A and B are shown apart, each in its own frame.
Chain A
Amino acid sequence: MFLDLTEEQKLIQDTARNFARAELEPVAAGLDQGDDREAMLVNLKKLAKLGFMGLNVREEYGGTGAGCIAFSVAVTEIARACASTAVTVSVNNMVCEVIQAVGSEEQKRAYIPKICSGEFTAGSFALTETGAGSDPSGMTTRAVADGDSFVLDGSKIFITSAPYAGVFVVWAVTDKDAPKGKGISCFLVEGGTRGLIVGKEEKKMGQHAASTNEVIFDNCRIPKSALMGKLNDGFRTAVTELAGGRIGIGSLGLGVGLAAMDYATRYATERSQFGQKISCFQAIQWMIADSYTELEAARLLLMNAAFRKEQGKSFAKEASMAKMFATEAGNRACYNALQMLGGYGYTRDFPVERYARDARVTTIYEGTNEIQRVIISREILRHFS
């Protein structure tokens, strides 16, 4: 049992922390309040140049080859400063990883280096539809073979990074008569392809700088070579390869929770009421104790899931446990932090309300926590039947 990070992982964590403090934190509040998104896009390029977009991607494709633990600690550090940047980094990494896992050699060479180098600001996953959220097998976007092309028609929602994505991983029905989930395929569609229309941007509660859009496919013709993986095997890719993304989002939830508690704890040592610092009151001490304990447990669950993934062991259950627990611990930490700041916590003069809004979606996206519980219990019950 060895619970410490390696020297390389520590240096990566350090670099992420230093970069986040110097470059991300100063612009995070402004981005939340609607400042020009350009500041985040510039920072994404800088993060790409430093090697943060392909942490668990092999060097031959322009990745860092640093592994999944390094990915987790990097996302946490970035999220401590800016959740919008962190979610974009997490998704970019997962797009690279999915292409690396399922794509052909040509597809890997065509797209992964461009995301890793920052030539593409982002990559996007286009899975969710209005009628297919937690149950993606119910999607209706279809891809019809036509000569040496596929033609995509349909629409997707909640697509992270869509306006500045260089490539989309798109799931569509290729055999509408197949049993549920058996007739879906996965495609790589380049941003700017004719018939791929980036629709309206959602007005969200938080994570404002990370764009979330509708994406419409209107007679969108793509070459046969755009198919990724086997025909009609795309749904399996969605449910298996995306497990790694849960480590990313769990790490993000942890980072936001830590940011909130670090802020609130420092505040509690400075704020006086009833003639003493409020950190002297047991009510505040218990919030500090509860939240930091939960965040530490979240970190260990994340490290365990990331470690198992790195070791090539099964990690779906552990990734779901980590995602579920870390995002809920992050939300509870934000709740406590806001409570510790009292009325000030509810104002925009302090960053805690932003953390609370940014954290909220982490129990929803990358698989709702209810779906995580389904996955966890299914894995456990398998051993009892």
Chain B
Amino acid sequence: MKILVCIKQVPDMESRFKPAASGVWYDESDLAWRMNEYDEYAVEQAVQLREQLGEGCELTVLSIGPDRVGEAIKKALAMGCDRGVHVQDDAAATKDPWQIAAIIAAYAKDQGYDLIFTGMQSQDRGSAQVGVTVAEDLGYACATTLVGFAYDNGTVTAKRELEGGIKGVVKLTTPALVTCQLGLNVPRYPTLPNIMKAKKKEIQAIAVAELLKEEPLAATVSFHPPAKKGGGIVLEGEVGALVDQLMGILKEKTTVLR
């Protein structure tokens, strides 16, 4: 059995973000980086499955990005992945979800993965498109926003989170891809001996140009903080006129009155 888990390295969400000079993404300097939270659930679930299946199962972790993503790959290896794939791309942040999915699919298509785990979405771009697009590219069955997972003999039983707290259960036959949501599991801390052992695990480096043949479908054109709210409107005058004025504003500019 071959398993792939795809991870993204994102900034610590407590960081102060400011737009980069390009105006289409945030400035990456002086940020602390960590593994995308949803991808940690994906890694944990993949490692649990790896432990369930034991010998004869290989778990690969893949990440796309500059040199620094090596640290996120190392963490996944320390958590229990067997080998790493680092798609080297200094400009990964500017690629749209279509391209990121195309890179992963191009890598995975000849590898014969039975199961692919991804996070539900990234904490920075948050498109939630990459996992499902990879599944589509590869012709895999797909279930999203997993909060429960079981695997037995080629069948995945996935508990999904629906709107309003409702849960749904779907069964998928491998090959399949699942995207993981908060509540699926509690990611383990990598033990220190495993952090040291991860140093000896293989990380295959692949240049992005070898995998990416697609143009972007949805290029980001602007990245900016929300506009500062304007000052409030101060109404003055006699009470009767004020009420009329207020009613008018509420009808025109809000949905409070129709």
**Is A14 in the interface zone, CB < 8 Å from B?**
yes
How far is it, in angstroms, between the C-alpha of A276 and the C-alpha of B143 when the chains are bound? 52
- Chain A residues, Cβ within 8 Å of B195: 8, 11-12, 15, 51, 64, 66
- Chain B residues, Cβ within 8 Å of A347: none
- Chain B residues, Cβ within 8 Å of A65: 193, 196
How far is it, in angstroms, between the C-alpha of A376 and the C-alpha of B199 when the chains are bound? 37
Assess whether A64 is in contact with B189, with CB atoms less than 8 Å apart: no
Assess whether B75 is in contact with A11, with CB atoms less than 8 Å apart: yes
Expressed in whole angstroms, the minimum distance between the Cβ of A76 and any Cβ of chain B is 15
Assess whether A8 is in contact with B34, with CB atoms less than 8 Å apart: no
Expressed in whole angstroms, the minimum distance between the Cβ of A177 and any Cβ of chain B is 47
A12 CB contact (under 8 Å) in B34, B70, B192: B192
Assess whether A8 is in contact with B191, with CB atoms less than 8 Å apart: no
**Is B71 in the interface zone, CB < 8 Å from A?**
yes
Assess whether B192 is in contact with A14, with CB atoms less than 8 Å apart: no
A-contacting residues, B142-191, CB 8 Å: 189-191
B-contacting residues, A32-81, CB 8 Å: 49-52, 55, 59, 64-66, 70
- Chain B residues, Cβ within 8 Å of A7: 70-71, 74, 199
Assess whether B74 is in contact with A51, with CB atoms less than 8 Å apart: no
Expressed in whole angstroms, the minimum distance between the Cβ of A117 and any Cβ of chain B is 11
- Chain A residues, Cβ within 8 Å of B75: 11, 14
| A64/B70 contact (C-beta < 8 A), A8-B199, A14-B34 known | no
**Is B115 in the interface zone, CB < 8 Å from A?**
no
Expressed in whole angstroms, the minimum distance between the Cβ of A118 and any Cβ of chain B is 12
**Is B78 in the interface zone, CB < 8 Å from A?**
yes
Expressed in whole angstroms, the minimum distance between the Cβ of A44 and any Cβ of chain B is 15
**Is A19 in the interface zone, CB < 8 Å from B?**
yes
Expressed in whole angstroms, the minimum distance between the Cβ of A277 and any Cβ of chain B is 16
B-contacting residues, A197-215, CB 8 Å: none
**Is A10 in the interface zone, CB < 8 Å from B?**
yes
Interface residues in B, total, Cβ within 8 A: 15
Closest-by-CB residue of B relative to A63 is B193
Closest-by-CB residue of A relative to B74 is A7
Closest-by-CB residue of A relative to B186 is A22
Assess whether A15 is in contact with B189, with CB atoms less than 8 Å apart: yes
Expressed in whole angstroms, the minimum distance between the Cβ of B258 and any Cβ of chain A is 40
Expressed in whole angstroms, the minimum distance between the Cβ of B196 and any Cβ of chain A is 6
How far is it, in angstroms, between the C-alpha of A11 and the C-alpha of B190 when the chains are bound? 9
B-contacting residues, A302-347, CB 8 Å: none
Assess whether B191 is in contact with A11, with CB atoms less than 8 Å apart: no
| A55/B192 contact (C-beta < 8 A), A7-B71, A11-B71 known | yes
Expressed in whole angstroms, the minimum distance between the Cβ of A71 and any Cβ of chain B is 10
Expressed in whole angstroms, the minimum distance between the Cβ of B188 and any Cβ of chain A is 9
**Is A293 in the interface zone, CB < 8 Å from B?**
no
Expressed in whole angstroms, the minimum distance between the Cβ of B235 and any Cβ of chain A is 27
- Chain A residues, Cβ within 8 Å of B190: 11, 15
Expressed in whole angstroms, the minimum distance between the Cβ of B74 and any Cβ of chain A is 5
**Is A272 in the interface zone, CB < 8 Å from B?**
no
Closest-by-CB residue of B relative to A18 is B189
How far is it, in angstroms, between the C-alpha of A144 and the C-alpha of B74 when the chains are bound? 53
Closest-by-CB residue of A relative to B35 is A14
Assess whether A15 is in contact with B71, with CB atoms less than 8 Å apart: no
- Chain A residues, Cβ within 8 Å of B198: 8, 11
How far is it, in angstroms, between the C-alpha of A8 and the C-alpha of B201 when the chains are bound? 13
Assess whether B189 is in contact with A19, with CB atoms less than 8 Å apart: yes
How far is it, in angstroms, between the C-alpha of A10 and the C-alpha of B34 when the chains are bound? 11
Closest-by-CB residue of B relative to A6 is B199
> Interface readout for B75-90 with A: 1 if CB under 8 Å, 0 if not?
1001000000000000
Assess whether B71 is in contact with A64, with CB atoms less than 8 Å apart: no
- Chain A residues, Cβ within 8 Å of B199: 7-8
- Chain B residues, Cβ within 8 Å of A19: 189
Assess whether B192 is in contact with A51, with CB atoms less than 8 Å apart: yes
Assess whether A52 is in contact with B192, with CB atoms less than 8 Å apart: yes
- Chain B residues, Cβ within 8 Å of A12: 192, 195
Assess whether B192 is in contact with A59, with CB atoms less than 8 Å apart: no
| A15/B192 contact (C-beta < 8 A), A7-B70, A7-B71, A7-B74 known | yes
Assess whether B196 is in contact with A66, with CB atoms less than 8 Å apart: yes
Expressed in whole angstroms, the minimum distance between the Cβ of B33 and any Cβ of chain A is 10
Expressed in whole angstroms, the minimum distance between the Cβ of B73 and any Cβ of chain A is 9
How far is it, in angstroms, between the C-alpha of A51 and the C-alpha of B198 when the chains are bound? 14
Could you name 26 residue pairs across A and B whose Cβ atoms are closer than 8 Å?
Answer: A7-B70, A8-B74, A8-B196, A10-B71, A11-B71, A11-B78, A11-B190, A12-B192, A12-B195, A14-B34, A14-B75, A15-B190, A15-B192, A15-B195, A18-B189, A19-B189, A50-B189, A50-B192, A51-B195, A55-B192, A64-B192, A64-B195, A64-B196, A65-B196, A66-B195, A66-B196
Known: A8-B198, A10-B71, A11-B75. 19 other contacts (CB 8 A): A7-B71, A7-B74, A7-B199, A8-B196, A8-B199, A11-B74, A11-B78, A11-B198, A12-B192, A14-B34, A15-B195, A49-B191, A50-B191, A51-B192, A52-B192, A59-B193, A64-B193, A64-B195, A65-B193
Q: Which 8 A-B pairs have the closest CB atoms?
A: A51-B192, A64-B192, A11-B195, A51-B191, A50-B191, A51-B193, A7-B71, A15-B189
